[in-house]
Amino acid sequence: PTSLGLFRIVLVTIFSASMLAHIGSVAEYFSDASPLFGPWAREAFSSRWSLFFLVESPAAVRAIFAVGVVAHLLWLVGLFTRPAAIVAVLVWVSMVGRNPHLYSMPDQFHTVTAVLLALLPSGRGLSLDARWRGKGGPVPVWCRRLLQLQVAVVYTNTGILKTGASWRDGSAIYYSLVNPLNRHFAISGTLAALNPYVLRPLTWAVLVWEVAFAGFLGLHWLREVSRWRRIPDLRWLFLGFGLAMHLGIQAMLYVVWFAVLMISSYIAFFTPAEVERALAWLRRRLGRAPAGA
């Protein structure tokens, strides 16, 4: 349960931070105080579901949002994990449904991962439920594999859909980095000089990596199931490339939670034994720290 428990802690920490980023504008986003409210909101987003289509007063919306924040915190520490997770997801889905213009593709990954995690027994490890309520226990391996599959679907589907001319000619990353609406730095001249020798090969490398991620996952599963060590452990190659890519995206572009969500999802690729060794190393390091540090 340790791997899934750590996945819960890290991902729900990000979910909670994303929730808290709405503080100060909750009524303006999700209640009758919004520019788009009442029947007009329901008509505009008729394909969506939201509690905030039923409860519309600013005070009530703020109260439901507060319940959602508390539910996220309980989910994070693993206290009454399953009911807290369900409440947290219902409030989050209500926010996305009521005002989808606030959200984008990374938030879809947030939503799908939150739903999957809410349905999995993530409170069996590294949780107050396990420590205080005797709810600990083993977790089936398919739980981690389901989360791995979700990551692979995101990457491989994204790669397959990249059929535009800028991906074929290798200019996609260059144009993303010089986009004035999304960039952190105005360094177009430097990027233009780097494009033929660095950015163009990198564009094609990203495309190949994304499409190949499904094959990597298949080999990873085969290696785990068969214990046939002739299949190399490709996690360090594929996850290492992904780590470098997402850190680069975070440094150069305005993507809010996307990079940290994707990097954190890599926890699902590590076994409980590997996670326990990492946590034991961390505890040893913290134990050596000076008391006043």
- The model's pLDDT over 270-281, given as tens digits with 9 standing for 90+, comes to 999 999 999 898
Q: Is 80 left (phi over 0), alpha (psi -120 to 50) or beta?
A: left
Res. 228: pLDDT tops 80: no
* 244-to-55, 116, 177, 202 alpha-carbon distances in Å: 44, 26, 16, 12
The whole-angstrom separation of Cα 112 and Cα 89 is: 10
Question: Where do we find the tokens 């319940």?
Answer: 67
pLDDT category, 289, cuts 50, 70, 90?
low
108 neighbors 229 (Cβ within 8 angstroms): no
* Percent of the chain's residues with pLDDT above 70: 97
Length in residues, the chain:
293
Whether pLDDT at 292 is above 50: no
Residue 106 · residue 255 · CB < 8 Å? yes
Q: Can you give the residue ranges of every domain in the chain? A: 1-139, 142-255
pLDDT in tens, 168-225: 999 999 999 999 988 999 999 999 999 999 999 999 999 999 999 999 999 999 998 8
pLDDT at 267 over 90: yes
Sign of CA dihedral 220, 224, 226, 227: positive
Instruction: For 218-274, give the DSSP string.
Output: HHHHHHHHH--TTS---HHHHHHHHHHHHHHHHHHB--TTHHHHHHHHGGGGS-HHH
Percent of the chain with pLDDT over 90: 85
Q: What is the largest CA-CA distance in the chain?
A: 62
What rounded mean pLDDT belongs to the chain?
93
CA distances to 19, 80, 104, 195 from 72, rounded to whole Å, are 9, 11, 21, 43
In sequence order, the 6+-apart residues with CB closer than 8 A to the CB of 122 are 4, 5, 7, 8, 78, 81, 85, 143
Structure tokens at 57: 């007063």
Dump pLDDT digits (tens) for 72-102: 999 999 999 999 999 999 999 999 999 999 9
